[in-house]
Amino acid sequence: MTDYKPTKLVAVQCNARGKPMGTSHHACRYSDEVVAKARAMREQGLSYKQIAAALGVPHRMTIWSWCNGRRRNNPVRVIMRRIPEESTIEQ
């Protein structure tokens, strides 16, 4: 007899290699909304230091890496993963 565990499907944003990215990554600290807000503030002409202070991000280089494409790029594909229902992971 097999042990049945209820599962659910969640959409996971991935890069070209199939690795989770953005809010789908397990170590994500900032939401996609915060990243988008930082990019919009930079387009308005604010400095990285001003943006970091306004959003509560401790390092201005984090903002720099978001705005210059080093981190948090657009996902290449979305895959569906099956996770246990009792899991605390919310995608």
- Summarised one tens digit per residue, pLDDT across range 67-90 is 998 888 877 888 898 888 875 555
- φ/ψ of residue 80, rounded to 5: -100, 130
Q: 11: domain range?
A: 7-84
Residue 90 domain-assigned (yes or no): no
Q: Looking at the 3D structure of the chain, how many domains does it have? A: 1
Residue 37 domain-assigned (yes or no): yes
Q: Which residues pair with 9 in a beta bridge?
A: 82
Q: What is the pTM of this model?
A: 0.71
3-class DSSP state for residue 57?
A: coil
Q: pLDDT (tens digit, 9 = 90+) per residue, 19-69?
A: 888 888 888 899 989 999 999 999 999 999 999 999 999 999 999 999 998
Residue pointed to by tokens 């939401």: 31
